[in-house]
Structure 1
Amino acid sequence: MTTALPATPLAPTAVTALAARYARASEDAGRLHPEVVNALPSAGFARHFVPRRWGGRAGGFTELVNAVAAVGEGCASTAWCCALQAGHARLAAHLPERAQAELWADTPDTAIAAAVVPPSGQVARVPGGWRLTGRWAWASGADHADWILLATIEDPEAGQPQYRVLALPRRDVRVHRTWDSVGLRGTGSDTVTVDDVFVPEHRSFLRDVLLTGVRDADAAPCHRVPYTLVASLFFCAPALGAARGALDSWTALARQRGVSGDPGVQQTLARCSAEIDAAQLLLETAANRADRAALTPPAAFEPETAARNQRDAAVAVDLLAGAVERLFRTAGVRALSQDSPLQRAWRDIHAVAAHATLQPGPSAAAYAAGVFTDDRA
């Protein structure tokens, strides 16, 4: 077992400049540039939620949101991969101890990709584990991962089907280059396939534990909260950084055009910067809410807290998309260049806003269900 290391802070600056420098190259390649990938371990995202007994930080959610946003100012695709490396390690912390040792005994900086929503593939129980076959879409960062989490539905001979998550080493998974989107082009969110691979029993857990959090009294606070409380924060944080980067690019273009004294330009600046700041406040409030909930015994956790976080993330991404839309429309023809960070941020933020976790309808329904509980009696 790795000796626990001091809880050093996340270091987004270790990757931010490289991410910005290679943002165009990452887009063209459809995955992060190799130099960016090589710099990711030093930034600390992969180890952020790894249990401390393996040398990880078991860190907090507010710190992660701010660090991901900082990377997103230079490249939203890199920020997306940073957020998911952290988030997937938190999922992997639900694995049995033996599997955790396989992932982290040598280093807490193991890169983990995942395709857990929706479940896919076919799984059959065999002595000592399962045989898994299937195809899963949108496995961000799978190409440079060490391990991959895949979800499937197990249909026991007796009883209800079970939503199961299994951990596979990268060598057992084939990555197909299918990712070709308008935004977040550098994330390498490709399709992965598995062909009749044996997965030992200890490399698996049921999804139900994600919905309740780890109930072990010795679990770190960040592992005791349910997935629904924090998932939307991981996905929204890259958009916050991209919007800040878009505002910087827009401001530079306004100076180049000599229009900084124009009243319309000043009104756009004031409104969009305020909307971005408001989105930041919403995300920081939600992240603080998650950090407080992590210190609460699981039995005392209020489902309304998760609904509030989903609501706040959905509203935040709507504010960010609206602000960047306005910036892009008023930036002039120079913003249309392939080399313009503004047009890339515009595409990336709209890609983030399309994610299922950030859709306004489901988040509104979840929040309203708590508010109108008594009305259903």
Structure 2
Amino acid sequence: MTATTTPAITATGWPGDPAARRRHALAQVERIRDTLEAGVGESQQLGHLVPESVEAMRGAGILGIMTPDDLGGNEVDPVTAFEIIEAVGTIDPSLAWTAAILLEGAGQLATHLSPEQAAIVFAPKLPLQAVSLRPGSAERAEGGYIVNGRWDFTSGIHHADYVSATFWTDAADGKTERRMALIPAGQFEILDAWDVLGMKATGSTAFQVDSVFVPDEMIYDPMGTPRRTDTPLARLGMVPYILQMHPGMVLGAARRALDEIIAMAPTKRRGSRINIGASKSLAESSWFQRELGELDAQIRAARALALEANQRVGDTLAAGGEISLELLDSMQTASSFAGKTAHHVITRAFRQAGAQAIADDSVLSRLLRDINTILAHGVLGEVGFELHGEFTLGLQTADNRRMI
């Protein structure tokens, strides 16, 4: 008789075996999918996610996938992280973006706070952190800094237990260094400054801080040496940490757009209001069939490129290696290709749907606004192809590579 074993369950409630954990993680997205879908419309109107969506993701463990298990997280490998954000992206890009930012923020705190301070911050529950990278003002005081100013583009701030405000400080060698001040909810003011074309439900607005004292134990260097070396961020570094997930959200959105037009195709008849006898349904039209086949292939190709890069990242980390310049270039190229592919697929699906797509509350209208807004962000933009060209021509080194 062959003995069978059940994968061990960790303190987080997620299986310890990586393959079982991946299946469990993706099952959690499906388990709360109806709740997340139900909140999309209201989240668009509010300008940030409804609380039910955030709590569903936190309760399901999705927001803990970049946090070590011992701090209450549910750490997963790069491929699984991509797949989770991709699955959420099929529901709504704003939802996927906010989830990625908040779970990245929690992972950052686990990595860059001292272990003693992290234990305090993570003790009540998984802390959700929103970050602004725009440098503001902070003055040195005894035992910490006095923080003042306004910081913008702070995705997920309406759900954050903390914000991190970036500032510059003088280093011992006379140079300036970037620091972040971790400020708890109640000590900053959320401003109404998010009036945008798309990604409305990310709530990526500004916040104001007025003369708040932040002690040294709540100050950290986001680009400096990690204080804990066994976390996903410590092993990856900041840029690869982001690149592993962001392609998933846009490819999930592209897949949703294609699903929408496929559902319409059997009954959608373009031009039928003018010439009711000449129009076939989209599904019966060879030109639509041809384009549909091509769009599907493009999504699959972009997804395969991203997954191949993430699998290599996972294998490298498992072997104790570091992210090479070549692997970083592969991740960035996959991200830019995912962004460009998603833009093309969503635009073509929108055009094929005709007048049915132009209503403000249509899924395809929302996806079109969202993808154009997302591509204003460098991580998924075409500048990544410039970097790939530099690398391919042998003009790039680890020291001169630009940060997006």
Q: Name the residue aligned to 2:166.
A: 151
Q: Name the residue aligned to 2:338.
A: 316
In the TM superposition, 1:224-243 aligns within 5 A as 224-243=235-254
Matched, 1:114 2:128: no
What are the superposed Cα offsets for residues 198-248 of structure 1, whole Å, 9 maximum, x if unpaired?
111111222333xx7x4855x135531111223233333221111111111
Please tell me whether the aligned partners of residues 275 and 319 of structure 1 are also in contact (alpha carbons under 8 angstroms).
yes
In the TM superposition, 1:39-118 aligns within 5 A as 39-93=56-110, 94-107=112-125, 109-116=126-133
Taking the aligned partners of 2:127 and 2:320, their CA distance within structure 1 comes to 29
Q: Name the residue aligned to 2:189.
A: 174
Q: Name the residue aligned to 2:369.
A: 347
Change in Cα spacing, 1:62 to 1:126, as seen in structure 2 (3 Å) is same
Unaligned runs of 5+ in 1: none
The CA deviation at 1:37 is: 2.5
Please tell me whether the aligned partners of residues 108 and 233 of structure 2 are also in contact (alpha carbons under 8 angstroms).
no
What are the superposed Cα offsets for residues 114-162 of structure 1, whole Å, 9 maximum, x if unpaired?
112xx32111111111111121111111011111122211135861101
RMSD: 2.2
Q: Name the residue aligned to 1:269.
A: 292
Unaligned runs of 5+ in 2: 1-9, 16-23, 269-280, 398-404
What are the superposed Cα offsets for residues 20-61 of structure 1, whole Å, 9 maximum, x if unpaired?
222222111111123222312123222111122212223222
Please tell me whether the aligned partners of residues 164 and 181 of structure 2 are also in contact (alpha carbons under 8 angstroms).
yes
Change in Cα spacing, 1:375 to 1:66, as seen in structure 2 (3 Å) is closer
Taking the aligned partners of 1:264 and 1:170, their CA distance within structure 2 comes to 54
Q: Where has structure 1 moved over 6 Å in runs of 4 or more?
A: none
Identical counterparts, % of pairs: 27
Compare relative contact order (CA 8 Å, sep 6+) and give the higher one, 1 or 2: 1
Please tell me whether the aligned partners of residues 232 and 309 of structure 1 are also in contact (alpha carbons under 8 angstroms).
yes
Q: Name the residue aligned to 1:7.
A: 14
Matched, 1:161 2:183: no
User: What is the TM-score when the length of structure 2 is the normalising length?
Assistant: 0.84
Taking the aligned partners of 2:319 and 2:131, their CA distance within structure 1 comes to 28
Taking the aligned partners of 2:334 and 2:382, their CA distance within structure 1 comes to 10
Taking the aligned partners of 2:396 and 2:127, their CA distance within structure 1 comes to 48
Corresponding letter in the other structure for 1:251: I
Corresponding letter in the other structure for 2:373: A
Aligned residues: 365
For the pair shown, the structure with the greater C-alpha radius of gyration is: 2
What are the superposed Cα offsets for residues 266-314 of structure 1, whole Å, 9 maximum, x if unpaired?
112111111111121122122223322333546x541221122111100
Taking the aligned partners of 1:14 and 1:83, their CA distance within structure 2 comes to 19
Please tell me whether the aligned partners of residues 167 and 203 of structure 1 are also in contact (alpha carbons under 8 angstroms).
yes
What are the superposed Cα offsets for residues 236-269 of structure 1, whole Å, 9 maximum, x if unpaired?
3221111111111111121222331111111121
